Amino acid sequence: MFPIPTGTQLLLLLNIGVYAIQFLTQGQFSDPFELWPIGSEQAGGWGFEPWQLVTYSFFHEGIWHITLNMFALWMFGSDVERVWGRNRYLTYYFVCVLSAALTQLLFTYITQSPYPTVGASGGIFGLLLAFALLFPRRTVILAFPPIPMPAWLFVTLYGALELFQGTVGTQSGVAHFAHLGGMLGGWLIIRYGRTRSG
């Protein structure tokens, strides 16, 4: 069993640490750090602030939300970091987080949604894309149902499903376009970026 690389360890610790604080404080301090739609202002006085473009990714709605995200971060992020190195990996991850946030802000502006966005999923979806490009023939087995398939097919189908669900509005409460925005940011930095390994 390979040890977890340091960049992935850092992301896991930060996400789990923030969730622990959320749990202990019953989410009382979360509002300023969630990604609020531009132009929104809640009863507590909080609306969109620039730091939310990053901080939202460390907050989660419930134990299953963070558990699934951290499992995917460990499963896919570890191998990506081993290939790219810590610095390139972390730069890539946060570009995906930012692009997911910007995509979600555009979506909430168009739809006039008043709800904030939280979760590491934008960064995770960027890592899924990177994993599929680096290890296209690596077998991935779905949990439900347990169907093995190559990574490139898994990520392609998953992206298509997100687009479908986001378009038709199924699975309410899930930021499908933030997920797709994370993938888009990942593709752009892979295609046009010149990030160094380290």
Would you kindly state where each structural domain of the chain is located, as residue ranges?
Answer: 6-192
Supply the CATH classification number for the domain 6-192: 1.20.1540.10
Q: Is the pLDDT of residue 1 over 80?
A: no
Verify cis geometry, omega within 30 degrees of 0, for the bond prior to 145: yes
Confidence of residue 194 (pLDDT cuts 50, 70, 90): low
d(CA 192, CA 51): 25
Mean pLDDT over 50-59 rounds to 96
% the chain with pLDDT above 70? 90
Residues 6+ apart with CB under 8 A from 86: 5, 6, 7, 198
Q: How many Cα atoms sit within 13 Å of 78 on the Cβ side?
A: 12
Number of CB atoms found within 10 A of residue 114's CB = 12
pLDDT band at 10 (very low <50, low <70, confident <90, very high): very high
Determine the average pLDDT of the residues in 85-112: 94
pLDDT tens by residue, 133-177 = 999 999 888 766 688 889 999 899 888 888 888 777 655 568 888
Cα diameter, the chain: 50
0.75 exceeded by pTM = yes
